[in-house]
Structure 1
Amino acid sequence: MKKMVGLTLGIACLAAAFIAQANTSAQLVVRGTITPAACNLSLAGSGIIDYGTIRSGELSQVAFNPRDERTTSLVVNCGTTPARFGITFTDLQAGSKVTGILGAGYTEAQNFGLGSVGTRRTGGYSVTLRDLRSSGFALQPIMRTSAGAWQGSDGKVTQSPTQYSWRNNTTFAPAAINQLTGTLAVKAVINRAQDLDLSRDISIDGRATLVLSYI
């Protein structure tokens, strides 16, 4: 009988302990995911600017050799959701840049390389943003360095970390738009013939990456 009493008392104590430790609060969790607008960036013709065949006899021995400007179309489509976004341009051939080849009005940060053969650098090119529009309305290019303040731009592209966007009024701030259309104008300049190895074919090999980011 003593064992039974002892057991009964033990159960009573455990029940009392459970009542004393009962939860009097609960946690509410609210979940979800907010995703950025699904903007697609594309260039007409896969972004290829083709200068075709250039005869070595056309090139000056002692002066840089500018070529005709060529263009490709730029399109950014964000569907039905307006978005603020910008684009950066990274030169994948920066090590082949020929200093001063673009001439007056350009900085070296606007000079993209055209590749090299051995230690001989082929040339350089510039990129300019033109004819920016959204839903039929003209846009003006703006730019900033890293996270600095936005300022006006003449459209001449400076390489990353400079970022480009577009405004639709007098305020220097990116406009929220559904679609952007524009033109990338490219102007190549071939190095002096005396600095090239003209005993072999030389491939013009400029490559740059455009990266879209949301603002």
Structure 2
Amino acid sequence: MKRLLTLALACAGALPLLAANADECRLLSSPEQIDYGTLDRSRLTPQQPALALPEKTTQIHLSCTHPVDLSLFFKAEFLDSERWRLTDNGHLRIKAGNAVVDGEPVELGLLSHPGAAPGPAAASLDWRPQHGMTPVRAGQTLRGRSLSLTLTLEGELSASAFQVHGMIQSTASGQLQAPASGATSNLDLHWQIQPAACTPQLSNNGVVDYGKISAQSLQPDKRTRLPSRHLNLTISCDSPARYALLMHDNRDGTALVNSMVFYGLGLDAASNRIGLFEVVFDPRLISADQVPAAYLTYSTGGGTYWSNASAQSNSITSKTLLAFTDEDNTTKGPVPFRNLSTSIEIKPVIAPTLDLDLRQDISLDGSATLEIVYL
């Protein structure tokens, strides 16, 4: 997905036509393409609401064959009197400095509108929304054949910009304009946002082995619940990430009960269903970053809304998102965690032996896949 920002240096309203023509002036940005590279949440901490982008500069050169008004204008969507919008989740500040006209260093002044008297001059100025920038000497706007200056770009993206499911390519496109001559130059900002990557790991490689079970230890006419076993689950992310969990049955259709909380144990030689198992999370066993306690919350709406968080144990399912939060009895949903660990309980049930083919050994063949869903 691309988020586009139109940055245009332009003058609002009518501009006086001067003697110079568009083909007599050239306006260049060097570089025209500014690349912030790949960004991720790894430099964010829970205390940081935003990530400052690396400071970038571009050199602006305006050259004309005849002396002209060298004023430049900027027009773009803005947030307030100081910041320009940089996508829906960020902003941009621009500073102008190191101005030189016809080889001589000069100061810069802001213009409230075309033709206005410049404001207080300085060697470096913040370029404010709805204002132009002009070279100044002795309080007066300078005319000349050439202007060079440095633009310093200071961008910032909010933490919410990094809550992405896949790699996001973004571009902010702008245009510098010298209204008196009609010369223009494009300026493009590029970056991509990489989602947080989380790695789940189960103890014993996720294998629960019940060894040999005697048929005589199983109930002939009713189901037998085997002793619960536990596995340790750790989820490690390269930066704090907001996610939920699902579990998918790799033996789909073999569970004794058709329910999204139960997973199959496979079939015997006569294609009878051997049993089922469920996987239970107990929030009292969860350790997550530095929070004193973690709670379970669920979403049946794909993460658009969440249940009241609770300290009660519950089973993971194949369709309802299970996630973790730091506050009890809240519907705010999951919060970002970097490291989480817990013990999960495996609870198998075997079908009545009268419903199984015991003429040969039966292998418990349950298998399920844990999925991390980034939110």
Using the size of structure 2 for normalisation, the TM-score is 0.47
Name the amino acid aligned to 1:113: G
Q: Does 1:49 align with 2:214?
A: no
Which of the numbers 340, 347, 350 marks the counterpart of 1:180? 340
Residue 189 of structure 1 corresponds to: 349
Distance change in 2, residues 1:160/1:27 (3 Å): farther
Residue 205 of structure 1 corresponds to: 365
Q: Does 1:72 align with 2:228?
A: no
Displacement, 1:41? 1.0
Residues 10-34 of structure 1 deviation map (CA, whole Å, 9 limit, x = unaligned): xxxxxxxx959x9943332211111
Residue 318 of structure 2 corresponds to: 160
Name the amino acid aligned to 2:298: M
Larger deviation: 204-213 or 140-149? 140-149
Residue 140 of structure 1 corresponds to: 295
Displacement, 1:158? 4.1
Residue 254 of structure 2 corresponds to: 96
Inter-partner Cα distance in structure 1 for 2:193 and 2:313: 33
Which of the numbers 110, 125, 128 marks the counterpart of 2:277? 125
Name the amino acid aligned to 2:324: W
Inter-partner Cα distance in structure 2 for 1:39 and 1:31: 26
Displacement, 1:46? 0.8
Name the amino acid aligned to 1:194: L
Residues 106-139 of structure 1 deviation map (CA, whole Å, 9 limit, x = unaligned): xx22111111124211000111012111135321
**Aligned partners of 2:280 and 2:316 also within 8 Å:** no
**Aligned partners of 2:261 and 2:318 also within 8 Å:** no
Could you list the structure 1 runs, at least 4 aligned residues long, displaced by more than 4 angstroms after superposition.
none
Name the amino acid aligned to 2:318: S
Displacement, 1:197? 0.6
Residue 185 of structure 2 corresponds to: 26
Name the amino acid aligned to 2:341: T
Identity %: 28
Displacement, 1:181? 0.5
Secondary structure of 2:253's aligned partner: helix
Unpaired runs of 5+ in structure 1? 1-17, 101-107
Residue 114 of structure 1 corresponds to: 265
Using the size of structure 1 for normalisation, the TM-score is 0.80
Secondary structure of 2:190's aligned partner: coil
Count how many residue pairs are aligned between Structure 1 and Structure 2: 189
Displacement, 1:38? 2.4
Name the amino acid aligned to 1:150: W
Name the amino acid aligned to 1:90: H
Displacement, 1:47? 0.7
**Aligned partners of 2:281 and 2:316 also within 8 Å:** no
**Aligned partners of 2:234 and 2:340 also within 8 Å:** yes
Name the amino acid aligned to 1:50: D
**Aligned partners of 2:286 and 2:294 also within 8 Å:** yes
Name the amino acid aligned to 2:296: P
Q: How large is the Cα RMSD of the aligned pairs?
A: 2.1
**Aligned partners of 1:110 and 1:156 also within 8 Å:** no
Structure number with the higher strand fraction is 2
Inter-partner Cα distance in structure 1 for 2:360 and 2:183: 84
Inter-partner Cα distance in structure 2 for 1:209 and 1:31: 37
Structure number with the higher helix fraction is 1
Which of the numbers 84, 92, 96 marks the counterpart of 2:242? 84
Larger deviation: 152-161 or 33-42? 152-161
Inter-partner Cα distance in structure 2 for 1:67 and 1:143: 28
Inter-partner Cα distance in structure 1 for 2:297 and 2:246: 12
